[in-house]
Each structure stands twice: as C-alpha cells, then as structure tokens.
Chains A and B, each alone.
Chain A
Amino acid sequence: MTCQEIYERIWTEALRECSPAVRNAIDSHAGQCPRCRSALRIVEDMTLALNRLEEPEPERELSAAIMARVARLPAARESSRAAEVSRAISSGVTSWVWILAGVAIVAAERTTALTVSAWPWSLTTPRLEGTGFGPLTGSGVSALWLAAGLLMFLMGLLRRQHRALGERA
C-alpha cells in the first residue's frame, strides 16, 4: 500500500475491524511516516474518548415503569397464566409421585416381611436380610425402610395440602 492509501484507510476504515495484515501494514508505516502517525493518533484518541464517554443515566423508576407496562400486556397475562397452570400440573404430579412412592415402599417392605416370616426355611437362611427387607422386629434397616416410606407418603400429602391452600388464597 502507498502512503496515500494507508492515510485514507486510517480515516475511512473501522480500525477495530481491520484484518491483522492491514493493521500491521498501517502500524509499521505509521512508525516511519509522521503524517500517517499523526492521523492514526487522532483516530485512535478519538475512538478511545468515544469509548469512554459517560452516558446519560435513565431515571430510577424507568425499569419499574417498563415492567408495569409489560405486565399489562395480554401476552404477558396469558403467558403467566399458562406458566401457573403448568406449575400447578407439575406440582400435582410431584405430590402423587411422593405419595405413591411412599405407599410402594411400605407395601414392599410389609410383603417381604410377611413372606419371609411365613416361610420356615427363611429362619435358617435369612436370604433377604442383607437387603434390609424383613420382619420389623428383626431388622433395624427394615424399620428405616418403613419410616422412609411413611415419610414420603406424608411429604406427598403435605405438598397436596400446601397447593390446595395456595389455590384457595
């Protein structure tokens, strides 16, 4: 590039977006040419100053005003309603999962306990003992299983109750 081409590029290009090759050519030429160095300094100083400008601040209430307007939009109301319905459905399903899981654990524990105690050979070969399932009195782990099941059942009931109260409110 000639000196004039570089000089024009300094003024006409968005220097921030120049390719590295062009930028190198400009920099190395400006190192030797006072006219181009001066132009480059002016453009760079101006860019830096523009970049450091302090901007006018909006009023503090602006974001509140925007959100108030957004909340009044039909799309926002519809969207909120849809999200609430979705949340309610998801919460209802979760409650039932807790209740059913609790019932399933208690039922499994009790069935196993009854089966094991009904089979005489299980007294000599307590095959299920290691799993924690077994007669309530015969295993501490068994009691834990029962407690966990009941706890889950209660959690499910509480979630349902909480939701019902929320809906009424």
Chain B
Amino acid sequence: MTWQGTADPTWTADIVQRVRAGDVDAFGQIVKGYERRVFALAVMILRNREGADDVTQDAFVRAFERLDLYDARRPFYPWLATITVRLSTNWLARHSPGARRETPIQPESSAYASAAPAALDVLVAEDESRHLWRLVERLPLGERTAVVLHYRQELSVSEVASAIGVTAGTVKTLLFRARQHLRASLAGATPSTIRSPR
C-alpha cells in the first residue's frame, strides 16, 4: 500500500503551517496521517509492540515540540522517520544494552531450504506477508531499519541515510547485505561472495 494523502507535500505543508500558527488540533491530522507508518517502523526496529507504542507517541510529541526545526520545503515523513529511528535506538539501548550491536542473522530452519527453487513464489502465497515479516525481523538492526525504510516506506537511499545517521554508501551496503540475507534465508543457502558496494 502507499500513503496517497500523506505523500502530498502541499497537504503536510499546509497542516504544519496551521500548527505553527497555533492550531494544535491540526496536528491531529498529521498524527492520523502518519501514525501507521511510524508505528510499523518502530515495531520493525524494536520487535516489540508495547515499545513501539511508546516510541510512536514519543516521536509525535517530539515532532510537535520541534516543529519549528522542520524545513517545510522538504518531505515531512523522512524528518519524522529520523526522529522515530533515533528514539527507537534509544529505547533499544535502554531496554536491551546489547541490541545496538549488529548481530549476524540467525540460521534459518530447513523448512525454507527445501522450498528454495520456488521460494519467492511462496511469498506471493496467502501468508506471504507474515513469512516475509518474520524474515525481515530476523535481520540485524541496521539492515532491518534500512529495508523497512527503503522498500516498505519508499524512502530514497539518501533519506534513509539521513534517518539512520549514516552515509548513502553505508545504506547501500546495508540494503545489499539485507537482500543477501533474505535471499539466503529463502534459499537456505549461504550468501554469495559478491563484493558489497562502497
């Protein structure tokens, strides 16, 4: 799915202007327009619904407090995603000190290995979404965040870089590794030896 309404920069710019002029209720439209995306991002980073709930609330509150810092000429969501990613990593640091380290992907069960030739066709089947979410959830933090922001939330590589606080080259590397890990998970094979981009 795409986010037709919220993708319109004029829509957001208009609302932001009203909020800045003191119309606090107008901020409710921003919340309604973006809460699903922010929540989904937080769930994927934290792998915890309650934590995602807290982070989503904090992200909007922070966005409201710092709305003056937002450059209305730029798209709104990448700015909001940056806040969400930072709050999520803070939450992880508070709740699981080891979570920020990049951990290798867990080995997959042999059930996926046996489905290797038609692995991607499986994704189009009924429970494709749940299956793929599980695979994405198992990716290391950086790859997971990059995949969700780039593929699911349709941010450009440079926007993802800004949200995560790394260079575009690093994002490409993260996406590359994520694809390799997903491919390996689906095929039950070892990631190939293709060089990562830098």
For B140-184 the 0/1 string (1 means CB < 8 A from A) is 000000010011101011000000000000001001100110110
User: Size band of the A side of the interface?
Assistant: 35 or more
Q: Are B156 and A63 touching (Cβ within 8 A)?
A: no
Q: Are B197 and A49 touching (Cβ within 8 A)?
A: no
Q: Are A67 and B40 touching (Cβ within 8 A)?
A: no
What is A's interface to B at a CB cutoff of 8 Å?
7-8, 11-14, 17, 41-43, 45-47, 49-59, 62-63, 65-67, 69-71, 73, 75-76, 79-80, 82-84, 86
Question: With contacts A50-B147, A70-B27 known, is A14 near B175, CB below 8 A?
Answer: yes
Q: Are B27 and A67 touching (Cβ within 8 A)?
A: yes
A41 to B49, CA, bound (A): 33
Interchain Cβ contacts under 8 Å between A and B, 24 examples? A11-B179, A13-B197, A14-B157, A14-B172, A46-B182, A50-B132, A51-B154, A52-B128, A55-B39, A56-B39, A57-B36, A58-B39, A62-B53, A63-B28, A66-B56, A66-B57, A67-B27, A67-B31, A70-B24, A70-B60, A70-B64, A73-B64, A75-B64, A84-B22
Contacts of B7 in A (CB 8 A): none
Q: Are A52 and B129 touching (Cβ within 8 A)?
A: yes
Tell me how many residue pairs across A and B have CB atoms closer than 8 Å: 122
B43 at interface by CB-CB < 8 Å: yes
